[in-house]
């Protein structure tokens, strides 16, 4: 049993940062709007609000207490209106520890507790506690008193039990960065950021810079463009290494325990029973090199984990290393099926058509209005047709017993393994042309992040095979 405790005083700083961040846009807008003699009054009002924010942050910290009592985490908070939140140990699905830069300076961590009903945020979040205290709280909430006694007895019978663990090497981390394809994402963010900053750039400076760039000549412009791409590529490598540095996955009884991050250290817990499917992703860049990413679709959870809806089980490994990895950490998903039932050959034309129709129209439009530039959409048209062929070639499935493996491609090739009991819905779709060709689309749904559904679709399967899979799904022993 824990006595009621307060968060570390550094929580005052986190509360203040959170409050200021919510008003940051208004503050920046005020600085831009009041640039004349009204600036003094604006600064005076801003200072008054800052003092109010500091006082509120201190009171929020003082009024926030937590304790574990009667198999519950009990949190009391609220400055003016007192609120109480009780979270039963039985409802807790996962407990994650996250240490940002400021946390690590003070030796602290942030404890996020998720339950089955967690939505977009954690059920409870302790913004700043000592690292040792956070780990002790996690152990206390994961095991009840009776379970602790049982575990003690078990420990006497089996004094040494090693938890399997695997860490990413620096070389693999570097390869993950160089092949992450984050250049496009960073470039898009840079363009979006520039479009916002453009509003605040003086017209004279903008015009002079544009005139200077145009006057540089084509060779210098190409060199500058290559330099920018190299810089973005290096930033992508750095971002990947900072995000996944020291990545370690450990299996502890019925949980997977993942730690990662150089600046912000995250400790994520994934209960095995919440894993709905396991996927292997092969990006267009990594596939020729034989590298894959292993991930899991986890039921519930919150977006605060920053896992982009799917949880990465290992950022990068060789394709032939996946099977031994699964045998250790997720033996139920071992036995990867490499030979899948392919899509029928007559479905290829539909895949090519869907992938290339937009560029086909674009080529026709450019060819009509400006034939001298028709080579540009033609290149995209050929690329989209190749992508369509690849999507058709990689699509397929394999069903064995209770396990179903499907494979599809958007840009990356994804192989997903799931069990009959995890599939929430099966849908067969068929439009008139598919019906004439004896083809159909299979759509599967599982419980995904935030309790919503995650869907997988294989288009233009053989109709008879789709019906067989429907019968397999309908049969529940």
Three-state secondary structure call for residue 62: helix
Q: Which two tokens stand for residue 7?
A: 């968060």
Dihedral of alpha carbons 383, 386, 388, 394, sign: negative
In contact, 131 and 107? CB cutoff 8 Å: yes
Those residues with Cβ within 8 angstroms of residue 228's Cβ, 6 or more apart along the chain or in another chain: none
Tell me: the pLDDT tens digits for 150-204?
Answer: 444 444 444 445 789 999 998 888 888 888 766 566 666 666 666 555 555 666 6
CA–CA separation, 108 vs 122, rounded Å?
18
Instruction: Give the DSSP letter of residue 300.
Output: B
pLDDT value, residue 314: 94
pLDDT value, residue 158: 47
pLDDT value, residue 334: 82
Kindly report the backbone phi and psi dihedral angles of residue 121, in degrees, each rounded to the nearest multiple of 5, phi listed first. Answer: -125, 175
pLDDT value, residue 315: 92
Alpha carbons within 13 angstroms on the beta-carbon side of residue 272 total 14
In contact, 277 and 289? CB cutoff 8 Å: no
Segment 447-451 mean pLDDT: 63
pLDDT value, residue 419: 93
In contact, 294 and 317? CB cutoff 8 Å: yes
Kindly report the backbone phi and psi dihedral angles of residue 152, in degrees, each rounded to the nearest multiple of 5, phi listed first. Answer: -65, -45
Tell me: the pLDDT tens digits for 49-74?
Answer: 899 999 999 999 999 999 888 888 88
Instruction: Give the DSSP letter of residue 80.
Output: S
Segment 403-416 mean pLDDT: 93
Segment 376-381 mean pLDDT: 90
Nearest to 303 by CA among 404, 417, 452: 452
Rounded to the nearest angstrom, the gap between the alpha carbon of residue 475 and the centroid of all alpha carbons in its chain is 34
pLDDT value, residue 190: 65
CA–CA separation, 449 vs 354, rounded Å?
29
Confidence of residue 216 (pLDDT cuts 50, 70, 90): low
CA–CA separation, 176 vs 181, rounded Å?
9
The average confidence (pLDDT) of the chain is 83
**pLDDT reading at 273 higher than 90:** no
Segment 286-308 mean pLDDT: 75
Confidence of residue 100 (pLDDT cuts 50, 70, 90): confident
In contact, 139 and 148? CB cutoff 8 Å: no
The ranges assigned to domains in the chain are 5-143, 345-392
**pLDDT reading at 309 higher than 70:** no
pLDDT value, residue 80: 83
User: Scanning the structure block, which residue is given the tokens 């496009």?
Assistant: 184
pTM: 0.75
**pLDDT reading at 303 higher than 60:** no
pLDDT value, residue 151: 44
CA–CA separation, 129 vs 76, rounded Å?
16
Three-state secondary structure call for residue 392: helix
- Give strand ranges (E) for 142-274: 165-167, 248-252, 255-260, 265-271
**pLDDT reading at 139 higher than 80:** yes
* CATH number belonging to the domain at 5-143, selected among 3.40.1350, 3.40.50, 3.30.2010, 2.30.29: 2.30.29
User: Who has greater pLDDT, 352 or 123?
Assistant: 352
Task: Report the chain's C-alpha Rg in angstroms.
Answer: 27
Those residues with Cβ within 8 angstroms of residue 395's Cβ, 6 or more apart along the chain or in another chain: 342, 343, 351, 407, 408, 409, 458, 459, 460
Segment 198-212 mean pLDDT: 66
pLDDT value, residue 304: 46
The number of beta carbons lying within 10 Å of the beta carbon of residue 38 is 11
């Amino acid at each position: 049993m824990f006595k009621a405790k307060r968060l570390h005083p550094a929580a005052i700083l986190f509360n203040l940062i959170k409050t200021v961040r919510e008003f940051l846009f208004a503050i920046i807008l005020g600085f831009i709007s009041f640039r004349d003699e009204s600036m003094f009054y604006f600064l005076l009002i801003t200072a008054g609000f800052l003092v109010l924010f500091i006082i509120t942050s201190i009171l929020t910290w003082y009024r926030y207490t937590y304790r574990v009592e009667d198999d519950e985490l009990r949190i009391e908070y609220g400055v003016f209106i007192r609120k109480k939140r009780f979270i039963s140990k039985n409802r807790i699905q996962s407990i994650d520890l996250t240490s940002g830069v400021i946390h690590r300076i003070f030796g602290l961590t942030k404890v996020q507790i998720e339950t089955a009903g967690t939505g977009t945020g954690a059920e409870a979040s302790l913004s700043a506690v000592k690292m040792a205290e956070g780990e002790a709280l996690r152990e206390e909430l994961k095991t009840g008193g009776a379970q602790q006694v049982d575990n003690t007895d078990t420990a006497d019978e089996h004094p040494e039990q090693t938890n399997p663990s695997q860490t990413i090497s620096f070389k693999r981390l570097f390869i993950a960065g160089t092949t992450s394809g984050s250049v496009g994402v960073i470039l898009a963010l840079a363009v979006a950021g520039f479009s916002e900053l453009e509003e605040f750039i003086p017209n004279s400076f903008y015009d002079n810079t544009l005139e200077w760039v145009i006057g540089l000549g084509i060779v210098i412009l190409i060199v500058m463009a290559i330099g920018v791409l190299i810089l973005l590529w290096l930033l992508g490598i750095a971002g990947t290494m900072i995000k996944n540095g020291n990545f370690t996955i450990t299996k502890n009884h019925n949980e997977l325990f993942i730690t990662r991050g150089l600046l912000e250290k995250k400790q994520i817990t994934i209960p095995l029973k919440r894993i709905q499917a396991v996927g292997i992703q092969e990006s267009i860049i990594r596939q020729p090199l034989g590298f894959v990413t292993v991930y899991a679709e986890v039921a519930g959870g919150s977006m605060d984990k920053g896992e982009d809806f799917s949880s990465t089980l290992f950022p990068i490994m060789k394709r032939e290393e996946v099977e031994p990895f699964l045998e250790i950490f997720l033996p139920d998903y071992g036995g990867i099926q490499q030979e899948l039932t392919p899509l029928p050959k007559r479905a290829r034309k539909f895949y090519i058509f869907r992938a290339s129709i937009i560029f086909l129209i674009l080529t026709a439009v450019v060819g009509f209005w400006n034939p001298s530039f028709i080579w540009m959409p033609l290149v995209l048209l050929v690329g989209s047709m190749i992508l369509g062929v690849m999507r058709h070639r990689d699509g397929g499935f394999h069903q064995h017993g209770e396990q179903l493996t499907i494979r599809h491609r958007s840009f990356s090739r994804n192989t997903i393994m799931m069990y009959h009991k995890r599939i929430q819905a099966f849908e067969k779709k068929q439009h008139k042309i598919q019906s004439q060709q004896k083809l159909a689309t299979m759509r599967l749904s599982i419980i995904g992040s935030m309790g919503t559904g995650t869907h997988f679709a294989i288009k233009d399967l053989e109709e008879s095979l789709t019906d067989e899979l429907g019968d397999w799904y309908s049969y529940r022993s």
